[in-house]
Structure 1
Amino acid sequence: MKGVLLINLGSPDSTNPKDVKRYLDEFLMDERVIDKPYLLRAFIVKGIILNTRPKKSAAAYKKIWWDEGSPLIVLSERLKRKVDDLTHVPVALGMRYGNPSIKAGLQELADQGVDEVLIVPLYPQFAMSTTETVLVKAEEERKKHFPEMKFTNIPAFYNHPDYVRVLAASIKDELEGKEWDHLLFSYHGVPERHIRKSDITNSHCKIDGVCCQTNSPAHQYCYRHQCFETTKQVVELLGIDNSKYSTSFQSRLGRDPWIQPYTDATIESLAEKGIKNLAVVTPAFVSDCLETLEEIAMEGKEDFIAAGGEQFYAVPCLNDNDEWVKVLSRWVDEWAITETANA
Structure 2
Amino acid sequence: MSKGVLLVNLGSPDSTDPKDVKKYLDEFLMDERVIDVPYWARTLLVRGIILNTRPKKSAEAYERIWWEEGSPLIVLSERLQAKVSELTSVPIALAMRYGKPSIKSGLQELHEKGVDEVLIFPLYPQFAMATTETILVLAEELRKKHYPQMQFTSVPAFYNHADYIRVLGTSISESLKGVEFDHLLFSYHGVPKRHIRKSDITKSHCKIDGSCCQTPSAAHQFCYRHQCYETTRLVAEYLGLEKGKYSVSFQSRLGFDPWLQPYTDRTIERKGLEGVKNLAIVTPAFVSDCLETLEEIAMEGKEIFEEVGGEKFTVVPCLNDRDDWVRVLSRWIDEWAKQEVTV
Alignment of structure 1 residues 177-256 onto 2, 5 Å: 177-256=178-257
Structure 1 CA distance, aligned partners of 2:321 and 2:127?
21
Structure 2 CA distance, aligned partners of 1:42 and 1:9?
21
Which residue matches 1:142? 143
Structure 2 CA distance, aligned partners of 1:95 and 1:143?
19
Structure 1 CA distance, aligned partners of 2:338 and 2:181?
44
Structure 1 CA distance, aligned partners of 2:207 and 2:260?
11
Which residue matches 2:274? 273
Structure 1 CA distance, aligned partners of 2:105 and 2:183?
43
1:48 aligns with 2:49: yes
Which residue matches 1:332? 333
Which residue matches 1:16? 17
Deviation at 1:60, TM superposition (A): 0.2
Structure 1 CA distance, aligned partners of 2:306 and 2:266?
13
Deviation at 1:246, TM superposition (A): 0.4
Deviation at 1:276, TM superposition (A): 0.5
Alignment of structure 1 residues 29-68 onto 2, 5 Å: 29-68=30-69
Alignment of structure 1 residues 89-168 onto 2, 5 Å: 89-168=90-169
Q: Deviations over 1:9-58 (max 9, x none)?
A: 00000000000000000000000000000011000000000000000000
Structure 1 CA distance, aligned partners of 2:60 and 2:141?
33
Which residue matches 2:303? 302
Structure 2 CA distance, aligned partners of 1:218 and 1:21?
36
Structure 2 CA distance, aligned partners of 1:173 and 1:52?
40
Q: Deviations over 1:153-173 (max 9, x none)?
A: 100000000000000000000
Which residue matches 1:322? 323
Q: Deviations over 1:257-300 (max 9, x none)?
A: 00100000000111111110000000000000000000000000
Runs of 4 or more above 4 Å deviation: none
Q: Deviations over 1:205-245 (max 9, x none)?
A: 00000000000000000000000000000000000001110
Deviation at 1:178, TM superposition (A): 1.1
Structure 2 CA distance, aligned partners of 1:334 and 1:154?
12
Structure 2 CA distance, aligned partners of 1:172 and 1:236?
12
Deviation at 1:145, TM superposition (A): 1.1
Structure 1 CA distance, aligned partners of 2:268 and 2:41?
34
Structure 2 CA distance, aligned partners of 1:140 and 1:67?
35
Number of aligned residue pairs: give it.
Answer: 341
Q: Deviations over 1:194-214 (max 9, x none)?
A: 000000000000000000000
Structure 2 CA distance, aligned partners of 1:85 and 1:118?
17
Secondary structure in 2 aligned to 1:258?
A: coil
Deviation at 1:327, TM superposition (A): 0.3
The code of the aligned residue for 2:134 comes to T
**Percent of aligned pairs with the same amino acid:** 74
Structure 2 CA distance, aligned partners of 1:219 and 1:260?
18
Deviation at 1:141, TM superposition (A): 1.1
Deviation at 1:143, TM superposition (A): 1.0
Q: Which ranges in structure 2 are unaligned for 5 or more consecutive residues?
A: none
Deviation at 1:87, TM superposition (A): 0.2
The code of the aligned residue for 1:300 comes to G
Alignment root-mean-square deviation, CA: 1.0
1:79 aligns with 2:45: no
The code of the aligned residue for 2:288 comes to S
The code of the aligned residue for 2:268 comes to I
Structure 1 CA distance, aligned partners of 2:65 and 2:212?
38
Which residue matches 2:28? 27
Secondary structure in 1 aligned to 2:339?
A: helix
Deviation at 1:134, TM superposition (A): 0.4
1:262 aligns with 2:259: no
Deviation at 1:179, TM superposition (A): 1.2
Deviation at 1:123, TM superposition (A): 0.3
Deviation at 1:136, TM superposition (A): 0.4
Deviation at 1:144, TM superposition (A): 1.2
Question: What TM-score results when the alignment is normalised by the length of structure 1?
Answer: 0.98
Deviation at 1:312, TM superposition (A): 0.3
Question: What TM-score results when the alignment is normalised by the length of structure 2?
Answer: 0.98
Secondary structure in 2 aligned to 1:249?
A: strand
The code of the aligned residue for 2:249 comes to S
The code of the aligned residue for 1:203 comes to S
The code of the aligned residue for 1:262 comes to Y
